[in-house]
Amino acid sequence: MHPPSPRIRLHHAFDAYAQAHRDEAATVALFQDFLVDHAQCFERTLAPGHFTGSAWLVSADGRRVLLTHHRKLGRWLQLGGHADGDPDLARVALREAQEESGLAGLALDGEAIFDLDRHRIPARGAEPQHWHYDVRYVVRADGDENFAVSAESLALAWRPVTEVVADTEADDSLRRMAAKWSRRALSAGQ
């Protein structure tokens, strides 16, 4: 018996996410439909949009998150990027976290999807406006936390998760992830 394809594993991961986050059913349906309807959904050349993988990169103690001041978008966001043909979005998230932070010793904190966010990317140069179907995973920094700013970023910063939750000027999806992480920590008794 062959293991399921990465596309089927992703579809199952969307199902599991839908079960855990029933209030996000409409978002999950958008992601599942996009996966089914577009054979090239992992390629950035797909004009309507494409899948991306992002990391909610937390410190070893889980109290801080590493954010990037994104060079192109000019906002503080989580680390992440294009799949570039790789259907294993957890692997994409981990790779992007490593590349964009310069941190060694990063590891996925489980394989479950942590958050989903569909957001419009504005037109830039010859690149038309399109959608990012961003699949987010928890990545933990268990080693040295001294990061290196990559060409993707204007800056990087460790921020307390509680500050991100309370920051009314932060990106809505960042605040949502910070709130999810805080609830998860509370339920785990941390």
Digit-by-digit pLDDT tens for the chain (190 residues) are 767 788 999 999 999 999 999 999 999 999 999 999 999 999 999 989 999 999 999 999 999 999 999 887 788 999 999 999 999 999 999 999 999 999 999 999 998 999 999 999 988 888 899 999 999 999 999 988 999 888 888 899 999 999 999 999 999 999 999 999 999 876 666 5
Provide the CB-side half-sphere exposure for 150 (13 A, CA): 16
Which residue, 136, 17, 10, 128, is CA-closest to 81?
Answer: 136
Domains of the chain by residue range: 6-121+132-187
Contact yes or no for 102/70 (Cβ under 8 A): no
pLDDT of residue 190: 55
pTM of the predicted model, to two decimals? 0.94
Tokens of 186: 């509370």
- Give the CATH fold of the 6-121+132-187 domain: Nucleoside Triphosphate Pyrophosphohydrolase (3.90.79)
Q: What are phi and psi of 94, to 5 degrees?
A: -65, -45
